[in-house]
Amino acid sequence: MPAKTPKVHTATTVVADDTSHTPWLRRPGMVALLAAALGSGLGLVASFVLSLETLHLAQHPGGALNCDVNAVLSCSTVAQHWSATVFGFPNSFVGMMTVPVMITVVVALLAGARLPRWFVRSAWGGAVLGMIFALWMFYMGFVVIRVLCPWCLTLDVGMLLIFFGMTRYCIEAGVIGGERTKRFARHGYDVLCGVSVLVLAVALIIVKFGAELL
């Protein structure tokens, strides 16, 4: 009777890309996350100041605020419009609740935490919604109210950094998009889009208000 050949069990190992020796800033998505972190910081500061200003207005109706520069740049005028409380409470409170969550996610990713794909995708979805809301608020101030709030504009810039930073990271990490999207980001077209949005907004403000800003 022929001897049985012993079975050899081989382990299958998934080898990940080794980035341990890669400079920290050159690792995929790190610069994008830093941009999102900067935007989150701006957003949190702006939300905090706007919340304080809202409380001041509640105590002193019709009063002036520190960010009331002139007739065009006035936080109090914007704060008294219905769009400043679209959810039934000051919009800045939304920022106070959501921006810290984004900061936590970004810091965790910067620290190298391996978060579930669905979680990161949800965070990106939150950034998309935040960007849409920021664009709507800018439209309301620019077109409807015809007055700009300096701290609201700061929050808009922060939201722009969060959105494009999270989008770039998710593309590089393979959370959203495919190879064509990666090539789009690799050529820097996403950065070009972000800068274009910012330049367009500044140009529109200067063209519309001009010397009234001074």
Average pLDDT across the chain, whole number: 88
Q: What is the pLDDT of residues 90-137, one digit of tens each?
A: 999 999 999 999 999 999 999 989 999 999 999 999 999 999 999 999
**Domain 28-213 superfamily per CATH:** VKOR domain (1.20.1440.130)
Cβ burial of 74 (10 Å; 0-12, 13-18, 19+) is buried
The one-letter amino acid at 87? F
| pLDDT on residue 61 | 86
| pLDDT on residue 29 | 83
Rg, C-alpha atoms of the chain: 23
| pLDDT on residue 62 | 81
Q: Where are the domains of the chain?
A: 28-213
For range 185-203, the mean pLDDT: 94
Phi, psi for residue 184 in degrees, rounded to 5: -60, -45
Q: What is the pLDDT of residues 12-46, one digit of tens each?
A: 332 334 455 566 666 778 999 999 999 999 999 99
DSSP string for residues in the chain:
-PPPPPP------PPPP--TTS-GGGSTTHHHHHHHHHHHHHHHHHHHHHHHHHHHHHHSTT---TT--SSSB-HHHHHTSGGGGTTSS-HHHHHHHHHHHHHHHHHHHHTT----HHHHHHHHHHHHHHHHHHHHHHHIIIIII--B-HHHHHHHHHHHHHHHHHHHHHHHTTSS--HHHHHHHHTTHHHHHHHHHHHHHHHHHHHHHGGGG-
List the structure tokens of 185: 């980001």
- Quote the CA–CA distance of 89 and 84 in Å, as a whole number: 8
| pLDDT on residue 25 | 61
pTM of the model: 0.86
- Quote the CA–CA distance of 98 and 58 in Å, as a whole number: 23
| pLDDT on residue 64 | 85
| First-to-last C-alpha distance (Å) of the chain | 100
Rounded (10°) CA dihedral 46, 55, 102, 129: -90
Residue 2 has pLDDT above 70, yes or no: no
| pLDDT on residue 26 | 66
| pLDDT on residue 14 | 27
| pLDDT on residue 4 | 53
| pLDDT on residue 23 | 61
List the structure tokens of 169: 């990271």
